[in-house]
Amino acid sequence: MDWPTMLFQFLSVVPALVQAVVVTVAAVEAPGHGPEKKAAVLEVVDATYTAAAETGELFGYKAPPGLEKDTVLKLAGELTEVAVRLMKQRALDGKTG
């Protein structure tokens, strides 16, 4: 497979991954226990990746060949941090605004 096709497939997965992480972060949102909540989000992503390996689809998109689980989990971890920060900021803005 040529690199433009692989890049397109990878980029098509990112929005779905962002959505999956944000929804999961919102589902486990509660005060305190940040590391445990992040671990729960990563467990969901891990299970989804495992299912994708069996079906050939990742978050509803054709899984790009060579997209390693570690890469997906690392990206999901970073997205989790961003989503949590944005949700905290939004909550603070709501209290002060």
pTM over 0.75: no
Half-sphere exposure of 40 (CA within 13 A, CB side): 14
pLDDT at 59 over 70: no
Whether 41 is in a domain gets the answer no
pLDDT of residue 43: 92
Whether 83 is in a domain gets the answer yes
**Any idea what the Cα angle at residue 80 is, between residues 79 and 83, rounded to 5°?**
85
Per-residue pLDDT averaged across 6-20, rounded?
A: 76
Whether 81 is in a domain gets the answer yes
Whether 54 is in a domain gets the answer no
Whether 75 is in a domain gets the answer yes
Q: Provide the residue range defining the domain that includes 87.
A: 65-97
Whether 79 is in a domain gets the answer yes
Per the structure, how many domains does the chain have? 1
Whether 87 is in a domain gets the answer yes
